């Protein structure tokens, strides 16, 4: 892969985000003859920026999750909640607000990078991180159902991330970002860090993990459908998607999907 070394942003291709966001999607994009040379360069640049943003999200998640795991272990072994009314060495997450801000900022940027990638295949003219607007554009312009359905599945995740980040960025009487570090609940249990709009009530580390996985899965399927939608007019060949099972994935670069060029079956040729 041109310009692609074994180390990407100081993270090797054994990293699942590097493998599936950068390497896998780059190879799938390379199979699309629709993209011109300049567009392929832009495609690669957007993938690199998307990968970098998601790696930053992953780093923030890993740190917060490690703190939660450590506290869970301490509670189990030492019984923090059973020390009377005085809590010594109470857990806290260093620079929690900063790490949350990095995560949400990079996640919002990732939504924009995904839309930029979409625009290389279909120029929607949308330049803000609004998947809902992209869906409306697709429906108005009769974009293939698979792409629209994929966007609809991802839209609630994208909106949630953007709403959280916007509540941080823009002061509002009706929408204010809230978060909390470890705290003692009335039940005398220790609550993990929480976040939300107007009220901190959702687990930060759990939602970070889910959001990150949703971004990666959505990106790979959106790119697959974008490439397939542009390559379905060839009368002799077609692109087919193959999933690599966990046990057969290369541990040095664990990509999950690949696209191969195959001869069309006779019935498919006749349709064209």
- Nearest-CA neighbor of 118 among 236, 234, 39, 3? 39
pTM for the predicted model, two decimal places: 0.87
Q: Which residues of 113-148 are buried (b: 16+ CB within 10 A; e: fewer)?
A: bbbbbbbbbbebebeebbbebbbebbeeeebbeebb
| pLDDT score recorded for residue 239 | 83
Q: Are 43 and 120 in contact (CB under 8 A)?
A: yes
Specify the DSSP element, H or E, that contains 219. helix 204-230
- Nearest-CA neighbor of 148 among 211, 215, 225? 225
| pLDDT score recorded for residue 70 | 87
Specify the length of the chain in residues. 272
| pLDDT score recorded for residue 185 | 78
Which of helix, strand or coil describes residue 215?
Answer: helix
| pLDDT score recorded for residue 1 | 46
| pLDDT score recorded for residue 170 | 87
Which of helix, strand or coil describes residue 260?
Answer: strand
Q: Where are the domains of the chain?
A: 7-271
| pLDDT score recorded for residue 90 | 72
Distance, in Å, from the CA atom of 9 to the CA atom of 214, rounded to the nearest integer, reads 22
pLDDT tens digits for range 7-18 = 444 668 999 999
| pLDDT score recorded for residue 88 | 59
Strands lying side by side in the sheet with 177-180: 177-180, 194-197, 202-203
The ranges of the chain with pLDDT < 70 are 1-11, 76-89, 232-236, 266-272
Phi first, then psi: give them for residue 134, nearest 5 degrees: -65, -40
Cβ contacts of residue 175 below 8 Å, gap of 6+?
A: 163, 166, 167, 197, 198
| pLDDT score recorded for residue 5 | 39
Q: Are 32 and 230 in contact (CB under 8 A)?
A: yes
Cβ contacts of residue 194 below 8 Å, gap of 6+?
A: 179, 180, 200, 201, 202, 203, 204
């Amino acid at each position: 892969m041109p310009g692609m070394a074994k180390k990407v942003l100081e993270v090797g291709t054994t990293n699942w985000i590097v493998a599936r966001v950068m390497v896998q999607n780059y190879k799938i994009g390379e199979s699309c003859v629709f993209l011109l040379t300049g567009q392929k360069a832009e495609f690669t640049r957007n993938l690199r920026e998307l990968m970098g943003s998601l790696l930053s999200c992953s780093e923030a998640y890993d740190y917060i999750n490690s703190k939660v795991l450590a506290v869970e272990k301490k509670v189990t072994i030492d019984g923090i909640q059973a020390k009377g009314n005085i809590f010594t060495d109470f857990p806290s997450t260093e620079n929690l607000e900063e790490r949350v801000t990095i995560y949400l900022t990079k996640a919002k940027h990732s939504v924009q990078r995904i839309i930029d990638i979409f625009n290389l295949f279909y120029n929607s003219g949308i330049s803000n991180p609004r998947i809902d607007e992209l869906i409306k554009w697709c429906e108005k312009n009769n974009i293939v159902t698979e792409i629209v359905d994929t966007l609809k599945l991802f839209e609630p995740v994208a909106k949630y991330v953007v709403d959280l980040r916007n509540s941080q960025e823009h002061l509002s009487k009706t929408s204010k970002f809230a978060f909390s570090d470890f705290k003692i609940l009335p039940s005398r249990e220790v609550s993990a860090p929480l976040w939300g709009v107007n009220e901190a009530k959702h687990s930060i580390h759990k939602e970070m993990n889910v959001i990150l996985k949703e971004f990666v899965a959505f990106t790979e399927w959106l790119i697959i459908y974008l490439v397939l939608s542009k390559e379905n007019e060839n009368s002799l060949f077609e692109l087919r998607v193959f999933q690599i099972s966990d046990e057969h994935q290369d541990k040095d670069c664990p990509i999950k999907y690949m696209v191969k060029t195959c001869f069309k079956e006779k019935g498919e040729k006749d349709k064209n």
